[in-house]
Amino acid sequence: MRTIGTLAALAVALPPVAATGQSMTPMRGEVRSFTDAFAVRVFPGNPYDQRIRVEVHVYDQDFQPIDARITPSVFLLAGQASRPVLVVVPFDGASERKVRICTESIPFPSEQTQIRAQICGKFFGHRRS
Amino acid sequence: MKSFRAATAASLLAACAGQTASAATGNVLFNGTITATCTITINSNGTMTVSANLQSLSSHNAGGSAGSAQVDTTGGVTLSVDPVTSTTVPASDTTATTWTPTFATSGAQTIAETGTATALTVPGTSTVAVNLDGTKSGSNRFSAGNYQATVTLRCE
C-alpha cells in the first residue's frame, strides 16, 4: 500500500498536460524512484468524433513486451476525450530502465487494409537507493 | 489671512512640482516548454487489388488505393511502419506472401515513399499515404477470397 502511494506520488511528479486531440501525452519523461518500480501517468486522447477502443502497451527498447501494470490497459474512449492511464514498470533488478509506452487503436476495423495508429512515448526510469 | 493661506499652499505646490514619483520597474519572465507531441488521425484505410499475373496484391495496383492518415506534431518525433504480422488470407492460399508496408508524407513535411523510420522535424500537419504490397514468388499465386492485413503506423 505504501509502495503504491509512493508510486502514485511519483507519477504525479511528471508534468502531464491532458489536452483533447493528443493521442498520448506526455511523450517523453524521466522518473526517479526509491522503490523497485517506477510509475508514469499518460493521457491517451481520441482525436476522432467517434468512440474508439484504445489499448496501452509497454515495450522495451527492442519493442519486446514488458510485464508492466497498466491501469486500465484496454478501454473505450469517447470522441474528443482523453483519460489518465497509470503505468507501473518494474526495474527487474536494474538500476535504470528505458521503456516505450504505446497507445494503440484501430479506428476503422473490418476493412481490407487496416491501419493501426500507434503513438509511443519514451520514458527513462532511474532507481535511487 | 486668507491670502496668506493661499500663498502658503501655492508655495508648497510649487515645491512639489519638481519632484518625480518614486517608482520601481522589474521584469516578469515567462518560460514555456513544449515537449514532443504527435497525433495520428486515420482518414481512411487502403484497398489492395491483384495484378494481372496474380503475384502482386497491392494498393499500388490499378484500382487500389493507399490508406490515408493525418499527423499533427510539434516535430522532434519519428514516423515509421512496422512489418506486417497480422494478416488474414483465404484457406485456399497456402503459399508464403511477402508483405511490404511503406509510407509517404506531404504537407508540413514531405517524405518520399519509404519503409524506413524517418524523423518528422517540421511542426505542423502532414498527410501520410500508407501503402501495402503483397508479393508471391516463383509459381505461387494469390487465390480468390478475402485478404486482410493490418499496418501499424507509429509516431514516437
Whole-Å CA distances, A38 to A1, A7, B109, B150:
15, 6, 36, 32
Regarding beta strands B148-155 and B87-88, do their DSSP bridges make them parallel or antiparallel, or are they unpaired? Answer: antiparallel
Q: Kindly indicate the confidence band of residue A108, based on its pLDDT and cuts at 50, 70 and 90.
A: confident
Give the tens place of pLDDT for each residue, A34-71: 999 999 999 999 988 888 899 999 999 999 999 999 99
Contacts of B58 in chain A (CB under 8 A): none
- Exposed / middle / buried, residue B107 (Cβ in 10 Å: 0-12, 13-18, 19+): middle
- B143, three cell numbers: 487465390
Q: Give residue A122's Cα distance to chain centre.
A: 9
Give the tens place of pLDDT for each residue, A67-77: 999 999 999 99
User: In sequence order, what are the residues at sequence separation of 6 or more whose Cβ sits closer than 8 angstroms to the Cβ of residue A30?
Assistant: A123, A124, A125, A126
Strand extents, DSSP E, chain A? 24-25, 28-33, 37-44, 52-59, 69-71, 74-77, 85-90, 96-105, 113-127
3-state secondary structure of B129: strand
Q: Which of B88, B152, B153 to mutate to test the interface with A (most CBs of A within 10 A)?
A: B152
The correct CATH number of B37-155 out of 2.60.40, 1.20.950, 2.60.120, 1.10.10 is 2.60.40
Q: Which of B33, B34, B38, B87 to mutate to test the interface with A (most CBs of A within 10 A)?
A: B38
Give the tens place of pLDDT for each residue, B106-123: 999 999 999 999 999 999
- Cis bond upstream, residue A26 (ω within 30): yes
Provide the residue range defining the domain that includes A11: 2-127
Q: Are the beta carbons of A117 and B153 separated by less than 8 Å?
A: yes
Query: Between A113 and B89, whose confidence is greater?
Result: B89
Q: Which residue in chain B is spatially nearest to A117 when comparing CA positions? A: B153
Task: Count how many domains chain A has.
Answer: 1
Contacts of B73 in chain A (CB under 8 A): none
The pLDDT assigned to A20 comes to: 32
Of B39, B148, B152, the CB nearest to A116: B152
